[in-house]
Each structure stands twice: as structure tokens, then as C-alpha cells.
Structure 1
């Protein structure tokens, strides 16, 4: 219930009124208590107070009853008597302006984010990856960024994983080893996320958190209710989505210092889901965001069954505390009760540890920051009922909230599948396949050409060999004929020479005989005449 003096939310009434000052609301808070002690009603009362002060609110509805903020209460006599007893004379039934968001796309404004927006660290946590698998996922994101490949939805991520696996040898020299086993494990984890609705969760158009930071025409802040009844059954998806939202707010909002009232209040229900088995690197980042986001004008309020569900580093930042009753059936629970009581600024009027075990439904120990930023003395008090209904809203109220924001449905309702890693890698694969086919055809043609050239060369060589053989045969025949002719001529010349010699010898003989006669006659003179 909003109070104007001081500018605060009147949270509860004990011996003294308990106010949550608007100018201290960005110092974060805690609403804790065992199941059935009234945490959800307290969250509704706070959300309505912030809305009435003009502060937009985000709250995850894991049980389906937070939608009651959009419907005015219908008080009965018991409630009116209680309000009168607490002095809440100005209490009037009232509804908050409400927007319903739905990750699963059932009833509400669709909530989508891209794979690139979530980043490898949160995505790895969502998928439950080991350190080695996380390293491979980091490489996938780095390669995608360097090659200008957008990771929008799960098919983009799957395509990138296949690409990195196919090019592991090339990538290994730059980024390190990419094992096929790690890629296979990540792909199997993606199947589980798909089964949990990841196909609807990852995509475009992506949610713009500025759409949640809005007020209606009367100046009341919208209560943005995330319908998480189904989403919470996938605790890693639920926790990492809300963590992404906190981180995105921190990184996108400007510094505002200490404003008169927050720019947005964020209620994180089932907070233990966020911290269960959280890696140290991620926890350190969250602690840093919790410490610094208050300067962006954002108040974070964690809701859990026990303060022990929240790490001490985070718990130390939660200054506004509403602690409902705890149960102490085990030594560990008794230790938690003692530690919780000691965390409050002591009130000498009662024992806080005993009070925690005695608190009834709707009662709480309350301590919020005062004007000087110091924790107020703890009060045992009754939480003021919200002016909206305590249970879930009627069906017509829910449907009116679903139908009441056509501009956001027009902006975010229809999924868009633009060109991203999947399409580009598919195009590259098609081009590579076509190039391979062309190369194969070219190689085939070259082989045929080479075979033809070889056949032609063989035939030319064979013809040349035959021609050479014929030439050699002809030359041999010619040489044989020439030799035979030379032999014939030689014989003819020899015969001729012999004939000449014979003739010469005959003539010489004749001449010799004649000469002999003449010589005989001359010698003997007159022997004959």
C-alpha cells in the first residue's frame, strides 16, 4: 500500500509501521519464508505499492497466482476487520496495470532472445556443460563473431557446431582443440533444451527490456508478469533467462546514482534455482551485477524459502528484508534460524530467533533501510494485504491482459527467421558442393582430354614408328640395290678390264712375235728372205 508521507510503501504494521522507502528501494531486498507463510501475498503487496508509485515491476509467476495483481480485491469481513485493526483506513480495492509475458508462447506477449544475446557463459550454464565443453562453446561463439555469422536460434548454433567440428584441424591451430565428443555432447544438450521449448524461446524479434519499463496513462507502473508455470519445470532455462535479464539491464541502462525511486524493480522468485551448483565464474559475475546495478536505478528482490539458499556475497547486498516464518526440524535448519535472526538489527522487545519459529501466515520480521540508509530495528509485524486479489485473477481478467497490448503483439508476436548462421553456412555448403561437382566434372573432362591426347600421341608415335620402319626398310632395300648395282658395275668393270687386258696382251703378243721375226732375220741375215 503506497504511503505519501513518507514517500514509501507501507509494508506491514507492528508496534510501529514498517515502510519501504522509495529512495532506498534500489538497495535490493529479500522476501523469505517457509512454504505457506505468505511470501506471494507480500510480493503482490510490494509490486502494487511500486506500481502505484509509478515504478514498473517485473515478477516471475511460478505458481500461476501472481496474475491477481491485475484484478481488484474482493474483501470479506475478516479482511476488513484485519485492515481496521492495522489502521489501514485508506485501503481500497484496486487493480494494477498488468502485462503478461510468456516464454512458451501460450498466452501472453512472446518472450524471445537470441543465442548471441545470451552468450556462451549463460548458455553453457543452461546446457549444464563441463569445463571442456564450455571451452568448445566459447570457440564456437568466437568463430561466429569473427566470420560475421549471427547466432539467433538453435539451428544456427547447431550449424556452427557442425562447422567447427568439420574444420577442427584449421581451428585447432588458432583456438585450441575441438573434440568431436564435446561437440556431440553439446548437440545432445540442445535436444533437451528443444524438448523444453527452446525453439520458441530462442529467436527473433528479441525482447526489448525497455518495453517492460513503462507506465500506463495514469502514471502507474506496469506489473510485468512472466508466466513461468511451465518454464520453472526447466529450472536451468528459467534461472539463466532471468539472470540474462538482470545482466542485460545492467549493461544497457545508464548510471542514475541514487534516484528518488527505482526505474524498475525486479522480483526473482525461486531464487535458489539460480544459485544451485553455479560455477564460481558465473557467481562472481552475478555478485558484481548485484552490487552495481543499484546505481542504474534497478532494485532486485530475491524470493526464497530460506536465506541460506542465497550466497553470503549476494545476501550481504539485500538491505530491505521481509522474513516470514521458518521451520527448524533439523540442526541445519536451527542454525539457519539463528543466523537469520542475528542478521537483523536487534529489537529488545522480543527474541528474533524465537519469533521466527512462532510467526503465523501473513506475519513477518521486517527491517528496511531508513532515511540515512541504515537498517531499521527489526519489527514483528503483520503484512498489509494488497489491494489486488490475493489469488489468481479470473479468466476474463487474464484474457483482457493478453488482448490489451496489440502494439506489443504486433511488434513481438510473429517470429522472424532472417538470414543468419544456418542460412549462410547452408549457402556455403551448397556453393562448396557445387564447386566440388564442377571440379569433379572438370577433372573428368581433363581426364578424357588427357586420354584423348595420349591416344593421339600413341597413334602418332605408332605411325612415326611405322614410317621410320618403312623408311629404314626402304633405305636398306635401296642400299642393297645400290650395293648390288655397285657389285654388278664392279664385275662389269672387272670384265671390261679383263677384256681390255686380254686384248692388250694379244696385241702385245702379236707385236712381240713380229718383232721376234724381224730380229731373227736381222741377226742371221740371210738365213731367210
Structure 2
């Protein structure tokens, strides 16, 4: 009898009349990526589950997304009772597999923090390219977003969460004239469009995805105390209502693996295996630049010991440039009801090395649930001949967990202390807010000083007007205060008028005019 692991790889299945005696995925070539395809209800989820179990048993950490909630069963052992067990036992006997139920070391993650530890990244780590894809920005809007990122780097402003990016865009819009001279035109319309898309992203849960503490890949690429690889399960049932957020997050995670991990060449087994379920969401309406980036990452990341497995309904969902790099393939049944279906079926069959024992295209149509057409890389990385394979039963539970079971698994994880509480440190929003507050205080101070000067002038004017009222006791009317900047002519005139008032007679006034005339003529 065969167990989950063989001497060289993972036991996938086989056996039975018309089937290969054994099909295995060699661990040495598991980082050459793979494809699990097939129509709904043909067994893709079970195949993903048994591969995750086997990689974990081999000490390889795994990441996968749980779209329907049934992959959470990896955290619990399967049941040795009921009809399902009877069917599994029969399948195990047919393929020569030693069925033994067990649970696996699982860590639950959730972008919304409800069904697992929160998964966060910072706006800076996501970068303008993926954010533009996430928000569906135009080329001009993407250019403005790039300017905002560049300016934030120049000014040392950390972009951690959405409020940081919002404040940065406001800063860019307010200084558009000066920024435009250095980096190109920044229109208010583009800034406004980005702000609206950020609002949409926020309502989809993006505000909970961006922030700190950011996910550290080392926490996913860990082993359990017994040496088995940890299985990281992302709760994606709610996330699927925002397909662009889902696809962008997985692409970001793949990019982070590519950027952070060192080159290791071709190790004896992968360092990490990444399952990308509902892969068509990554490529639907994706710009060529993004598809090229995915192709580049898929081509280069294998040398870092990472295997990427795309799960989708039809191989045609994956671009040819990416599909050509997927060396290990499990093809469940495809339905061919239309002319397009027939064309896709023929195309899928052409991707396999023919087996003279049967027609590949016919086999893909005829395989039943839990059965697949498989091809795995052989010695020296050569494609294996296509085979009809009965997929082995899973060791863990096939189905969902109860809320209490999930909570117990989450509570037992040590990562809750690190990720469950949000950290909001000093970043672009806080710094720009302080700048604005300081500018407002300066403006208020200047306004207050201007008001004080105006009040002083008004008070002096009032005092002068009050002083002009005639004093019947003394007969004196004080002169209006003059500025020190007045000319000597004004001083002489004031002196003359004051003297005339004091003399109070026509002769006195005539005398003064004579004195003033003499003074003016002498100048």
C-alpha cells in the first residue's frame, strides 16, 4: 500500500482498470508550477486539498484561498464513519492507498479579520501599478498616482493606509501648479477620480486591508513543531464579492514572495507552494502590462523555490505565456456543449504528451468526479505521458468547519497577538495634517496681528475725533496725532495753526502768517 508520500514525491492517485498504476508529483519539480482545471463539481477542490496535505506532510508550507469555505476542513481529521468514508475506503483499495485520517496545522487568514487573523499590507508595499489595477484607473490617472508616490518618497512621507494616500492626493492637488512644472500636468479631475475610486475601494473593505502591522511572509512560510509545513488558508467567500480586490491581493502576495526570497535554484523540494484559486479573475480584463508581469513572476519565481498552482475551470482562462510554464497538470472533466467549448476542449488536449492507450480529448470529456487526466514532470523535467488517474481520498475532513471549531483554531494560534490589533503610527496623513494646522495657525496669527494694528489705528482715530471737541474751559483743541513720517512742511503748518489758536486774535494770526511766511521763504 502507498501513503501520501513516496520516496521521491507526492502520491496523487492512479490504479484501477484503464488507469495508471500510480501517479506522483515529484517534489524536485514541484516548483515548476502547475494547473488544476475542470468544470464545476468535477473534483478540483479535492485535488487541491490532497496536494496541500501532501506538501504539508513533506514539510512544505502552503498558501491557498478558500472560496466556498470547504477547504477549512483541512484543520480537522476526516471521519471513519458514514457513506463518504465507505466511498473513500473503496477508492483507496482500488488505487492501493493506505487511507489514514488526520488533521493538519492550519492558520486561518481573512482580509476582513472576521474568519481569521487580519491580513494587511501598506499602500507603499502595494505600489502604484497594482493599486491602479485594483481601482481600474486610466493611464492619466495612473500617472498622477505615480507622482503622488514619488513625491511621498521625496518628502519622507510614509503611505501606510488609505487615509495617508487620500491626504497625499490632497497635497498634490493643492500644489498642482508647482508639481506640474517638475513632473507633468496634474489635473484636478484626475485627482478627484482617484479619490472617488478610493472611496469605492474603502466600501469594499480596502480600508481594513491597508495598514499595519503588515503581513510578514516568514509567518506564512513556517513549519509546525512536528516538522509539517503550515497550511495558510485565506477566507475568500466574502472576498469574492470584490473579485478585483481578491485578484490584486493574491498577485501582491506572489510579487512579495518574488521580491523578498533569495535565489535557491532547483531545491529538492519547494520552500513554499502557492495555490491561486479562481485564477481567471486575475486575467479577466487585465492590461497587457499586468499579464506580462504575472508571466515574468511565474517564470522567475521557481528559482526561488516557490511553486505556483493555478486553479480554474478552463485552461483557456490562463494566457498562453503563463500556461506554457505550468509543468504539472491535473485536468478534470470539461463539458463541451457549444462550438467554443469544443474548441477549448481540443486546445486543452493538445497541451498533453499523447498516450497511445487512449485519446486525450475523449478522456477529458469522459472522466468522472474524482477522476482526472494527469501529466507530471518526470526525470530531468521532461513532461510525463498523459494518464487517466483516480485521485486519492483526502486525510482531512471534506467539508466546512463549524464557527466554534474555527474560533478554536484561531484562538490556538500565536499570531493573534501580532496581527489582531491595528497599529496607527505617524505617517503621511498625520504629518500633512500637522503642516496644515501649522499653516492655519500662522495665517490666524498674521490675521490677528493685522486686526490688532487695525484696532490701534481705529482707536487713534477715535481719540483724535474726541480731542477735536471744543474745550470751553481752556479754549484748547489738541492737534491730530501725526505720523513721524510726515514732512517738515506739515509740522510747520501744525505749529502755525496751534499758535494761531492760542493767540486767538486777528493781529496774532497776522503775526503768525508773517513768521510762517519768513520760514517758508527762507527754505
TM-score under structure 2 length normalisation:
0.87
Correspondence for 1:60 among 29, 42, 65: 65
Deviations 1:332-374 (A, max 9, x none): 1111110110110000111011111111111111000012100
Q: Distance in 2 between matches of 1:216 and 1:475?
A: 111
Q: Distance in 2 between matches of 1:194 and 1:476?
A: 84
Pairwise mapping of residues 496-511 of structure 1 onto structure 2 (< 5 A)? none
Counterpart in the other structure of 1:247: 255
Counterpart in the other structure of 1:79: 88
Q: Distance in 2 between matches of 1:131 and 1:473?
A: 87
Stretches of structure 2 lacking an aligned partner (at least 5 in a row)? 462-479, 501-507, 518-523
- Asked whether the 8 Å contact 1:2–1:52 carries over to 2, the reply is no
Deviations 1:117-166 (A, max 9, x none): 10111011111111111111111111111111111111111111111111
Correspondence for 1:415 among 422, 425, 437: 422
Counterpart in the other structure of 1:24: 29
Correspondence for 2:451 among 444, 452, 456: 444
Q: Is 2:210 the partner of 1:186?
A: no
Correspondence for 2:309 among 301, 304, 309: 301
- Equivalenced residue count is 478
Correspondence for 1:141 among 143, 149, 153: 149
Q: Name which one, 1 or 2, has greater alpha-carbon Rg.
A: 1
TM superposition shift of 1:194: 1.2
3-state secondary structure, aligned to 1:207: coil
Correspondence for 1:48 among 53, 59, 63: 53
Stretches of structure 1 lacking an aligned partner (at least 5 in a row)? 481-529
- Asked whether the 8 Å contact 1:2–1:53 carries over to 2, the reply is no
TM superposition shift of 1:467: 3.0
Q: Distance in 2 between matches of 1:214 and 1:267?
A: 16
Counterpart in the other structure of 1:70: 75
Q: Distance in 1 between matches of 2:277 and 2:368?
A: 21
Q: Is 2:19 the partner of 1:10?
A: no
RMSD between superposed Cα atoms in Å: 2.2
Correspondence for 1:119 among 119, 127, 134: 127
Q: Distance in 1 between matches of 2:515 and 2:255?
A: 104
Counterpart in the other structure of 1:427: 434
TM superposition shift of 1:232: 1.3
Q: Distance in 2 between matches of 1:253 and 1:479?
A: 97
Judged with a 3 Å threshold, the aligned counterparts in structure 2 of structure 1 residues 84 and 456 are, in CA distance, closer, same or farther, namely same
Q: Distance in 2 between matches of 1:80 and 1:340?
A: 32
Counterpart in the other structure of 1:473: 510
Pairwise mapping of residues 330-341 of structure 1 onto structure 2 (< 5 A)? 330-341=338-349
- Asked whether the 8 Å contact 1:69–1:393 carries over to 2, the reply is no
Judged with a 3 Å threshold, the aligned counterparts in structure 2 of structure 1 residues 475 and 16 are, in CA distance, closer, same or farther, namely same
TM superposition shift of 1:99: 0.5
Q: Distance in 2 between matches of 1:57 and 1:200?
A: 24
Q: Distance in 2 between matches of 1:460 and 1:288?
A: 85
Counterpart in the other structure of 1:484: none
TM superposition shift of 1:404: 1.2
Pairwise mapping of residues 87-98 of structure 1 onto structure 2 (< 5 A)? 87-88=96-97, 90-98=98-106
Pairwise mapping of residues 229-240 of structure 1 onto structure 2 (< 5 A)? 229-240=237-248
Q: Distance in 2 between matches of 1:138 and 1:478?
A: 80
3-state secondary structure, aligned to 1:372: helix
Q: Distance in 2 between matches of 1:182 and 1:243?
A: 26
Q: Is 2:39 the partner of 1:34?
A: yes
Judged with a 3 Å threshold, the aligned counterparts in structure 2 of structure 1 residues 360 and 478 are, in CA distance, closer, same or farther, namely closer
Counterpart in the other structure of 1:456: 482
TM superposition shift of 1:472: 8.5
TM superposition shift of 1:282: 1.6
Q: Distance in 1 between matches of 2:96 and 2:481?
A: 111
TM-score under structure 1 length normalisation:
0.87
TM superposition shift of 1:379: 0.1
Q: Distance in 2 between matches of 1:367 and 1:466?
A: 111
3-state secondary structure, aligned to 1:197: helix
Counterpart in the other structure of 1:350: 358
TM superposition shift of 1:394: 4.1
TM superposition shift of 1:298: 0.4
TM superposition shift of 1:478: 8.1
